[in-house]
């Protein structure tokens, strides 16, 4: 099979969900709406948590990190996919493809780890409330945040570098919404079986231990909640945890199929749908799930609105 020099050639052509859809205009409109919703909701949540001192506690500072990751993750994927569809040009350079893959892996890996830390935070808050401020000290919080970014970044650099070092076949069509490891490995003109095993192990390492930690945390939380004498306390604890578990299911479900399922079992259509859900739908819904039923977030919204926005209007 003839090879083309991927480092000097014109790059790849992304043939993703917008091209394969029976209603591409409708899907593009949906993507624009979800991306706008993601920018607005995550941006507002970041602003509220930063500006309202009452939200400067570990739970909301971790939530701020999640909003930042969601904002960055969807911004790596959605704008290019939308502009490519509107311009009718789906090409991406070799360097652009590598950068997109690197950033997507950093944000995705960081979110895997961060969600597990958020579950641990809820476990400490509900099961050990008297020791909460001691256990979840500022140093521990900074350790969690730094671990999230450093581990995800190192892993992403290694896997992106190794994926892009392969020679790629003359077919430049990447049947995916964006540059990701599984669809690119299908274009490689070399034996990728060992690296596919490494990708599988990476998926297992980033998904299974955090998911196990989350399940254990919530099992212990459930036992504690059921023993609470206060009905109002039980309701508040379950409400907070249900929001978090919804986010866990929305992210870990599709991500497990993409990275834990062996590449030979992948189909372009399935991968496109799951990736669309992970990178476009979930970042738009996460802040709504966490904030709409959260009295503290809504209270912060009213305080910030009253302090910074309403006074300026009344003075006019």
Q: Residues 71-124: pLDDT tens digits? A: 999 999 999 999 988 888 888 998 999 999 999 999 989 998 998 999 899 899
Instruction: Give just the sign of the alpha carbon dihedral 187, 189, 194, 195.
Output: negative
Average pLDDT, the chain: 83
Mean pLDDT of 229-241: 72
Sorting pLDDT into bands at 50, 70 and 90, what band is 235? confident
Other Cβ atoms within 10 Å of 64 Cβ, number: 20
CA–CA distances in Å: residue 128 to residues 109, 182, 213, 226, 307: 28, 42, 17, 15, 35
Other Cβ atoms within 10 Å of 258 Cβ, number: 20
Category of 93 on φ-ψ map: left (φ > 0), alpha (ψ -120 to 50) or beta: beta
**What is d(CA 52, CA 303) in angstroms, rounded to the nearest whole number?**
8
Mean pLDDT of 123-130: 89
pLDDT(215) > 90: no
Coil, strand or helix at 125: helix
Which range, 112-121, 202-211, 256-265, has the best average confidence (pLDDT)? 112-121
Contacts of residue 226, Cβ cutoff 8 Å, sequence gap at least 6: 234
Other Cβ atoms within 10 Å of 275 Cβ, number: 24
pLDDT(2) > 50: no
Q: Do 3 and 189 meet the contact criterion of CB atoms below 8 Å apart? A: yes
**What is d(CA 271, CA 182) in angstroms, rounded to the nearest whole number?**
9
Predicted TM-score of the model (pTM): 0.86
Sorting pLDDT into bands at 50, 70 and 90, what band is 308? low
Q: What is the pLDDT of residue 193?
A: 85
Q: What is the pLDDT of residue 1?
A: 43
Q: What is the pLDDT of residue 167?
A: 86
Query: Where exactly are the structural domains of the chain?
Result: 23-302
pLDDT(224) > 90: no
Instruction: Give just the sign of the alpha carbon dihedral 68, 286, 256, 173.
Output: negative
Query: Which residue has tokens 């990476």?
Result: 202
Domain 23-302 has CATH 1.20.1070.10: yes
**Higher-confidence residue: 167 or 307?**
167
Q: What is the pLDDT of residue 150?
A: 96
pLDDT(176) > 90: no
pLDDT(293) > 70: no
Q: Do 248 and 118 meet the contact criterion of CB atoms below 8 Å apart? A: no
Give me 227's structure tokens: 């023993």
Give me 17's structure tokens: 């969900």
Contacts of residue 147, Cβ cutoff 8 Å, sequence gap at least 6: 113
Q: What is the pLDDT of residue 170?
A: 61
What is the percent of the chain with per-residue pLDDT over 90, rounded to a whole number?
A: 28
Give me 239's structure tokens: 């409400």
pLDDT(246) > 60: yes
Mean pLDDT of 125-138: 91
CA–CA distances in Å: residue 130 to residues 127, 133, 135, 194, 237: 9, 8, 10, 49, 16
């Amino acid at each position: 099979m003839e090879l083309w020099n991927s480092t000097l050639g014109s790059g790849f052509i992304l043939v993703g969900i917008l091209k394969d859809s029976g209603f591409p205009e409708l899907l593009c409109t949906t993507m624009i709406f979800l991306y706008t919703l993601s920018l607005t909701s995550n941006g507002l949540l970041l602003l509220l948590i930063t500006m309202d001192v009452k939200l400067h506690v570990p739970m909301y500072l971790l939530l701020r990190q999640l909003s930042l990751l969601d904002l960055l993750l969807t911004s790596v994927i959605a704008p290019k996919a939308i502009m490519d569809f509107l311009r009718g040009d789906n090409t991406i350079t070799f360097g652009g493809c590598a950068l997109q893959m690197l950033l997507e892996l950093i944000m995705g890996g960081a979110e895997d780890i961060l969600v597990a830390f958020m579950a641990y935070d809820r476990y400490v808050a509900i099961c050990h409330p008297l020791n909460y401020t001691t256990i979840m000290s500022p140093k521990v919080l900074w350790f969690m945040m730094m671990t999230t970014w450093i581990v995800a970044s190192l892993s992403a650099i290694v896997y992106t570098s190794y994926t892009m070092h392969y020679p790629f076949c003359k077919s430049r069509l990447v049947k995916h919404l964006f540059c990701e490891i599984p669809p690119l490995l299908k274009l490689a003109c070399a034996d990728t079986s060992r690296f596919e095993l490494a990708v599988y192990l990476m998926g297992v390492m980033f998904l299974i231990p955090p998911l196990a930690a989350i399940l254990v945390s919530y099992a212990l939380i459930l036992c504690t909640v059921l023993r609470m004498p206060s009905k109002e306390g039980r309701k508040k604890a379950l409400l907070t945890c249900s929001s978090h578990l919804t986010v866990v299911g929305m992210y870990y479900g599709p991500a497990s199929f993409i990275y834990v399922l062996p590449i030979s079992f992948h189909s372009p259509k399935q991968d496109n749908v799951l990736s669309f859900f992970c990178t476009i739908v979930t970042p738009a819904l996460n802040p709504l799930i966490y904030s709409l039923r959260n009295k503290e977030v809504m209270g912060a919204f009213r305080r910030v609105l009253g302090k910074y926005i309403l006074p300026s209007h009344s003075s006019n």
